Structure 1
């Protein structure tokens, strides 16, 4: 059984039951009101008869005809003596029940569509029996009328409910189609606008969920692809030094080289390649273990530390030209060793990017800016160079391109210090690195 039919059937049954309960209650209240009206009128008539009897009127038949309606049977007692009766038949059980212990009060009893009433005042007792079948006839007519009206109303309600259920389930069907597409893996599906009701709000939440899932899946795919590229680049990066180490050591081991000078040269190359692999390991370990908890944070004169770092690098690269504009006595809370490593990485990258390197370093209270006159970075490559082992120069010449770990390590250092970075570059003009040391751009 479909949800739409269940919804229609349950709603229809509830509405019909409610209408019938209300209708039956109204009809019963109408019957009760009519009977109470009969009782009230009968009580007035009986009191009038008793009052006349107490005043000495002995024409009982005339008193009954005067105050009681046609169809009302009457019996009048004086003590235990029957003074008047027009009863055709007497139900002694009802009469005994009404008269037993009666004293200055009115009692009523209904049986077989007849209203029995008894009143005792002083020595006189009046007993009446009134036909009230007309009330029950009216009740039957009202029920028949209500049934006809109920059928018409039920038909109208059925049509209205069908329309409302269609409106509700139409939205659900649209949402179901979206779910089917998501189940097929299409998380970019657009959920239609289903209005501002509860289903519409649910659809909006569903759209947000689909977007969130799609974003997370893309992020997982990006991380997976990044790891695949990382492993490929790492394998490629260590293949050359390992090949050199194995080749040179094999020549020495097999004694194919006898010249001591050549052997020393091979040993030097093996050592250099081993140190290169060691440097890769050290940088990778630094990147993987770098977090804020492991930082040796101290408040230092960052201006002085930057000046010393530039002086150190300039000694290594004497052919490079340096221009500085560093505001004095800028204190920052940082890890001095990591700060020095970060600055050196950016400066070295700038030096390697130019045959006649010119490096400009600027520092103020909120940022550090390092500019070079190198060959520049294509806009499409700026995000890629942030990945480990990625280099723009595909020949992987260590003197010009390095191993592709310097920038990722520098970016990680910036991240753990809660700083931010901007990279701007123009081909054949140079690159500008801006580090926002207050964490704001």
Structure 2
């Protein structure tokens, strides 16, 4: 069953049961209260009758009768009691009060009532207690009240009757009205609950619909915030989850694209030298060439082979760097900078590029070979950014608690939009120029991994036509 119908039916059932129980107790309480008043009135009527009979008895027995007559009265006691009872009449707004007078054997002496009600209740009364019972005759209900009455040291029993049919009729009428009211209440409440439940569950429908859309791949789905209650908070959390999921999916897609670009670029990098190598090798194998052509072809095969070897080694280094931990060593900065400058000097001099190398005294905690790869890569990239001539400044300086290694050139520079991409594998700002110079676009990607392994940071600053500055900030360094 849908959550909507669960709320709808449970609300209707709870409302109906609660209303029914409350109404039943209210009607029953009202009936009992009215019945209690009728019982009290019946007892009062019984007391009035008792008082009236006693007064008549006193009047009858205090009259100046002769002793003979008094004796006759004693002998004909029942006739006297009957005569006295006949003279007693109590009028109320409902008419005369019907009553019945019985002797101590529960035999009727006098009755002003035509009701055929037995007097078995009298046997359950004590000599000083009153009692009542509700008697049903046909469709009518009567309140039968009785009490003992002492006369001439004998116990008589006085019964009076009160018609309370209207109480039961009123109760029945109230129950009938209650049934109609319950039906009306259920219909009205049903309509209201239906609208309220639909309004309350509407955000859940939006959530369900958005969830299905996301399951079908539409990760841009969001839910409208219609309230600030628990469902509103759930919708807000759902939107946060959807945003995070969309970002994660986009990151996965981006990673997949980069992986595809990586594979495509690597395949292209392999295909170009292999095609040339196969072509020149085929020429050497199948054609007769002079000595100079043979040397040129062999030299080209050699250079392309070395480029392919370099490309493979760089790729291998990238994979290895993700899997191994390296032991850090203490290295003196000045000696380290002199060694790198000496290695790069011949290649830079050949292209008429000036290298200025200097370093402040410090002890660096690094992996020497890997960090040397980073520095040489940065210097070589600076060389490739210049056509003919220029200047490269390779320096090491203290800045507060960090030791900063910088490579600054006077080359072509880059646009700001290129800076965030240059550390991606196979990314090249000028692909034709980079490939012509033997590049594959893997250098800075390897550098970024090495720098991260040293828990350091690498920043780029560049302006088109003014050059580029790369800075590595090492924390693991000490002053001498």
Flag whether TM exceeds 0.5 (same fold): yes
- Give the aligned partner of residue 279 of structure 1: 310
CA shift for structure 1 position 427:
0.8
1:62-73 to structure 2, matched below 5 A, reads: 65=90
- Provide the secondary structure at the position in 1 that maps to 2:461: strand
Question: Is the Cα–Cα contact under 8 Å of residues 384 and 434 in structure 2 kept in the other structure?
Answer: no
CA shift for structure 1 position 239:
1.5
Query: What CA distance in whole angstroms lies between the structure 2 residues aligned with 1:409 and 1:317?
Result: 22
- Provide the secondary structure at the position in 2 that maps to 1:384: coil
Question: Is the Cα–Cα contact under 8 Å of residues 42 and 143 in structure 2 kept in the other structure?
Answer: no
TM-score, normalised with respect to structure 1: 0.78
- Give the aligned partner of residue 361 of structure 2: 328
Query: What CA distance in whole angstroms lies between the structure 2 residues aligned with 1:302 and 1:318?
Result: 24
CA shift for structure 1 position 218:
1.9
Q: 1:397 to 1:43 in 2, by over 3 A?
A: same
Query: What CA distance in whole angstroms lies between the structure 1 residues aligned with 2:341 and 2:129?
Result: 123
Aligned length, in residue pairs: 434
Query: What CA distance in whole angstroms lies between the structure 2 residues aligned with 1:302 and 1:417?
Result: 16
CA shift for structure 1 position 233:
0.8
CA shift for structure 1 position 178:
5.1
**Deviation larger for 53-62 or 387-396:** 53-62
Query: What CA distance in whole angstroms lies between the structure 2 residues aligned with 1:262 and 1:142?
Result: 121
- Give the aligned partner of residue 311 of structure 1: 341
Q: 1:67 to 1:254 in 2, by over 3 A?
A: same
Aligned with 1:80 (options 82, 101, 105): 105
Q: 1:302 to 1:43 in 2, by over 3 A?
A: farther
CA shift for structure 1 position 97:
6.0
CA shift for structure 1 position 280:
2.0
Aligned with 2:143 (options 102, 115, 126): 115
Query: What CA distance in whole angstroms lies between the structure 2 residues aligned with 1:81 and 1:97?
Result: 10
Structure 1 gaps, min length 5: none
- Give the aligned partner of residue 433 of structure 1: 470
- Give the aligned partner of residue 320 of structure 2: 289
**Deviation larger for 104-113 or 406-415:** 104-113
Structure 2 gaps, min length 5: 59-80
- Provide the secondary structure at the position in 2 that maps to 1:130: strand
- Provide the secondary structure at the position in 1 that maps to 2:431: coil
Question: Over residues 189-237 of structure 1, what are the superposed CA-to-partner deviations in whole Å (9 max), with x where a residue is unaligned?
Answer: 4533323234433332332233233222322221222122111111111
1:30-429 to structure 2, matched below 5 A, reads: 30-43=30-43, 65=90, 74-77=99-102, 79-82=104-107, 85-92=111-118, 95-96=119-120, 99-100=123-124, 105=129, 107-112=131-136, 113-117=141-145, 127-146=159-178, 157=189, 160-161=192-193, 163-165=195-197, 167-168=199-200, 171=203, 182=214, 185-254=217-286, 256=288, 259=291, 269-291=300-322, 294-298=324-328, 300-301=330-331, 303=333, 307=337, 310-315=340-345, 317-319=347-349, 320-323=353-356, 326-329=359-362, 332=365, 334-354=366-386, 355=388, 356-364=390-398, 365-366=401-402, 367-395=404-432, 397-398=434-435, 400=437, 402-429=439-466
CA shift for structure 1 position 162:
5.2
TM-score, normalised with respect to structure 2: 0.72
Q: 1:77 to 1:65 in 2, by over 3 A?
A: same
- Give the aligned partner of residue 26 of structure 1: 26
Query: What CA distance in whole angstroms lies between the structure 1 residues aligned with 2:354 and 2:54?
Result: 139
Query: What CA distance in whole angstroms lies between the structure 1 residues aligned with 2:451 and 2:215?
Result: 41
Question: Is the Cα–Cα contact under 8 Å of residues 369 and 432 in structure 1 kept in the other structure?
Answer: yes
CA shift for structure 1 position 362:
3.9
Query: What CA distance in whole angstroms lies between the structure 1 residues aligned with 2:274 and 2:473?
Result: 40
- Provide the secondary structure at the position in 2 that maps to 1:357: strand
CA shift for structure 1 position 91:
4.5
Question: Is the Cα–Cα contact under 8 Å of residues 98 and 108 in structure 1 kept in the other structure?
Answer: no
Question: Is the Cα–Cα contact under 8 Å of residues 331 and 368 in structure 2 kept in the other structure?
Answer: no
Q: 1:269 to 1:141 in 2, by over 3 A?
A: same
Q: 1:137 to 1:340 in 2, by over 3 A?
A: same
Query: What CA distance in whole angstroms lies between the structure 2 residues aligned with 1:206 and 1:163?
Result: 25
- Provide the secondary structure at the position in 2 that maps to 1:411: helix
Question: Over residues 239-276 of structure 1, what are the superposed CA-to-partner deviations in whole Å (9 max), with x where a residue is unaligned?
Answer: 222223323443455584685x8767755654543343
- Provide the secondary structure at the position in 2 that maps to 1:229: helix
Query: What CA distance in whole angstroms lies between the structure 2 residues aligned with 1:307 and 1:193?
Result: 60
Question: Is the Cα–Cα contact under 8 Å of residues 421 and 433 in structure 1 kept in the other structure?
Answer: yes
CA shift for structure 1 position 351:
2.1
CA RMSD of aligned residues (A): 4.3
CA shift for structure 1 position 404:
0.8
